[in-house]
A and B are shown apart, each in its own frame.
Chain A
Amino acid sequence: KAGVTQTPRYLIKTRGQQVTLSCSPISGHRSVSWYQQTPGQGLQFLFEYFSETQRNKGNFPGRFSGRQFSNSRSEMNVSTLELGDSALYLCASSLVLGLGVSSYEQYFGPGTRLTVT
């Protein structure tokens, strides 16, 4: 079974630009979560999608948004990029059990390394 894939793997943007990152979950996994990882802040939760709906959101400004498609693939968008947005963006997928409850294990993709200059 193929793992979680993320594209692109590396990205360099300038301040003020916007960026879209893509995540394809493991086949059959319908929950997709996004995290930002930086040396100073560690792994921080951005948002989680299930069934094309955002179920949970972390403490990030509105410049960070996402969506999920009917095939469970997800995208996240960051508008008006700032230098502080430079980070590794990780996507994780998990199975959804009965009643919409996510299973315990999250499987992470390789991440997209975003550098803002």
Chain B
Amino acid sequence: EDKVVQSPLSLVVHEGDTVTLNCSYEVTNFRSLLWYKQEKKAPTFLFMLTSSGIEKKSGRLSSILDKKELFSILNITATQTGDSAVYLCAVDSLANAGKSTFGDGTTLTVKP
């Protein structure tokens, strides 16, 4: 059965800090790893990673995948209070169309 483990479960930082969120996974026939941000509503898509070693970047957020070690990290630099959210990691399998297996998420709180 596919499995995603995120760490830490929660994190409290101050504005301006840099944070690294971790996601490790086990999946049969890996297709992609996805990061989502969830505030008090539905998850919104951040990144999709399919290849090892290629960094995806969007503003202060970046992510990278290691398919050999089966993990991904999400970095947020110069954090702002608006970054406070639950960050979800999910994996897709080639064998299971339309099904993403999600981790429990990391709750990030950024204090002013």
Contact = CB atoms under 8 A, between A and B. Distances in A.
A33 B42 contact: no
B45 A105 contact: yes
A105 to B, nearest CB: 5
A56 B99 contact: yes
A66 interface: no
A90 B44 CA distance: 12
Nearest to A88: B42
Contacts of A107: 45
B17 to A, nearest CB: 26
A4 B43 CA distance: 12
Interface string A29-70: 001110100000011110011100001101000000000000
Contacts of B62: none
A45 B92 contact: no
A74 B36 CA distance: 23
A50 B99 CA distance: 12
A106 B46 CA distance: 11
B42 A45 contact: no
Given A108-B43, A109-B42, A45 B97 contact: no
Interface stretch (B18-26, B64-72, B101-109): B101-109
A10 to B, nearest CB: 13
Contact of A105 (B42, B48, B88, B101): B48
A34 B100 CA distance: 10
Contacts of A43: 43, 88, 90, 102, 105
B34 interface: yes
B90 to A, nearest CB: 8
Given A42-B104, A42-B105, A50 B42 contact: no
Interface of B: 31-32, 34, 36, 41-45, 48, 50, 88, 90, 92, 96-105
25 contacts: A31-B98, A33-B99, A33-B100, A42-B102, A42-B104, A43-B43, A43-B88, A43-B105, A49-B98, A55-B97, A55-B98, A56-B96, A104-B31, A104-B34, A104-B48, A104-B50, A105-B34, A105-B48, A106-B45, A106-B100, A107-B45, A108-B42, A108-B44, A110-B42, A111-B42
